[in-house]
Structure 1
Amino acid sequence: MVNSRKTQRQKRHFRVRSKISGTSSIPRMCVFKSNSYFYAQLINDEKGDTLVSSSSLSLNLKNANNMDAAKKVADDMIQKISAKKIKTIVFDRNGYIYHGKVKLFAETLREAGIKF
């Protein structure tokens, strides 16, 4: 049986999610890419709360799913994370391959001094 790309990504995601978790001191940064938009959330898995979220949809970007959009979402997340005084996170790439938008997003966070 041939698995679709979405099914393969979901399998990778479930396999990785069984090993990582976010806490109140070190929350989990989860990214999601749709065909139209790029999303990111900072999650405390102990309580099941979303601490901070941002997306290219909420930023009303014109080209909402390209490299520039991922960088702008990262910049918005940096401002929101620094307001919460969070320095360390766990990065959850959600089963996506670490290149392109996901890599640019992560590197932008690292350049701002967020550790993961």
Structure 2
Amino acid sequence: MLIELALTGKFIVDIVKRLRSDKTFRTLGFLIFVLILVGTMFFWLVEHLPFLKALAYSVGTLSMNSPYDHAVTFSTIGVVFNIIYIFIGVGVYIIFVLEAGKTIISAHEDFEKKQAEKKALKKALKEANKTK
């Protein structure tokens, strides 16, 4: 349990490091931020949802997992905006999540490689001590 928690923290750190160093990934992150901001502002100011519900609806819509899809009735402009928001945002969101997943997989492979190297070194030291 503790190892999984530590690995999760490490993966988040690795994603943040990649956001700082990889221009393409940083651009995707910025686009996601802007899309969530625009969606939240629209649903909050135009459709008069409470701010947190507007934020949850924006994030949920991009992740194709909106918890509010049956509880909200939109105006015509809201429906049109939502359609455009989905077409633009879902693709960007999926690409960002896939890239973040690649970062996590790479970090996990590096972690496993280091663990295997430590284990091999420990075994070699143990064998060297036996032969003495």
TM over 0.5: no
User: Which one has the bigger strand percentage?
Assistant: 1
Considering only CA atoms, is the larger Rg found in Structure 1 or Structure 2?
2
User: Which one has the bigger helix percentage?
Assistant: 2
